[in-house]
């Protein structure tokens, strides 16, 4: 048997999505084998590989849904339980993740973050975290420097872009926005040798290299973001709002 390589896809360049890129992205949860609290989350979570850690996480894969960087991917972990806790014994990592997940729902459905009507609240209720797999929302993507010299920098979710922000409407309308890099300073390696030392005497240590799915109820570009859908939502037990067509 022979293998014809002529129709193989070109090799990827390995270049990162530019820091500060705005794009519509889809999140897929990669099952990690650990059970969550709800029935539909069996085998969904990923346990930390740090010895003695009780942290359970959502292993998220993000795919750019459309635009200049369509089909480009990056990955990120979200803590669901365990780790450091606040004064009430609640996982601090989970509180941060929960805020991100709520923002994803608001961005996906065009909900005003301040809308706490019964209709809006019902759309934010999930049967389990598995309901979030496949959600498409607007995001700002960053480049995160690696703190391990063995690995290069990577793309991460900077933040979810909400309907109350002007970039949300522009991305939803298909407009390509110029990247808006984060103002956070990237760490730089300092020379380990005196300036008077010859070039070959200076340290050569390398600086740490530090579409849309069928269920997605895409908000029509002409509809103002804050206005909730006039249709009556189905009970939460049937699934999240973006699964209801």
Provide the Cα torsion 78, 244, 215, 35; round to 10°.
30
Cα separation of 3 and 79, whole Å? 43
DSSP H or E segment with residue 49:
none
From CA 109, how far away is CA 218, in angstroms rounded?
A: 7
In the predicted structure, residue 131 carries a pLDDT above the cut 80 = yes
**Is residue 233 scored above 70 in pLDDT?**
no
**pLDDT tens string 107-121:** 999 999 999 999 999
φ, ψ of residue 165 in degrees (nearest 5):
-100, 145
pTM beyond 0.85? no
pLDDT at 8: 83
Long-range CB contacts (within 8 A, 24+) of 48-55: 48/82, 53/82, 53/83, 54/81, 54/82, 54/83, 55/79, 55/81, 55/82, 55/83, 55/93
Min mean pLDDT across 23-37, 69-83, 146-160, 187-201 is at 187-201
Confidence tier at 223 by pLDDT (50, 70, 90):
very low
Q: What pLDDT band is residue 43 in, cutting at 50, 70 and 90?
A: very high
Q: How confident is the model at residue 238 (pLDDT cuts 50, 70, 90)?
A: low
DSSP category for residue 130 = G
For residues 24-41, give the mean pLDDT: 97
Find the distance separating the first CA and the last CA of the chain, reported in whole Å. Answer: 47
């Amino acid at each position: 048997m022979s293998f014809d390589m002529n129709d193989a896809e070109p090799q990827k360049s390995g270049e990162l999505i530019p820091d500060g890129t705005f794009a519509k992205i889809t999140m897929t949860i990669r099952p990690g084998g650990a059970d969550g609290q709800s029935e539909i989350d069996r085998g969904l979570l990923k346990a930390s590989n740090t010895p003695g850690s009780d942290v359970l996480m959502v292993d998220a894969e993000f795919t750019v849904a459309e635009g200049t960087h369509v089909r480009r991917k990056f990955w990120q972990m979200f803590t669901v339980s365990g780790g450091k806790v606040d004064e009430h014994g609640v996982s601090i990592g989970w509180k941060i993740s929960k805020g991100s997940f709520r923002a994803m729902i608001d961005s996906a459905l065009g909900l005003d973050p301040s809308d706490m009507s019964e209709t809006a609240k019902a759309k934010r209720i999930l049967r389990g975290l598995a309901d979030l797999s496949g959600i498409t929302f607007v995001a700002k993507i960053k480049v995160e420097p690696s703190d391990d010299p063995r690995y290069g920098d990577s793309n991460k979710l900077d933040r979810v872009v909400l309907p109350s922000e002007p970039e949300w409407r522009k991305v939803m309308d298909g407009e390509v926005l110029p990247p808006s890099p984060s103002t956070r300073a990237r760490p730089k390696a300092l020379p380990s040798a005196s300036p008077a030392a010859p070039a070959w005497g200076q340290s050569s240590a390398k600086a740490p290299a530090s579409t849309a799915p069928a269920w997605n109820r895409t908000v029509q570009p002409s509809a103002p973001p804050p206005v909730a859908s006039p249709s009556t939502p189905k009970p939460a037990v049937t699934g999240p709002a973006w699964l209801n067509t």
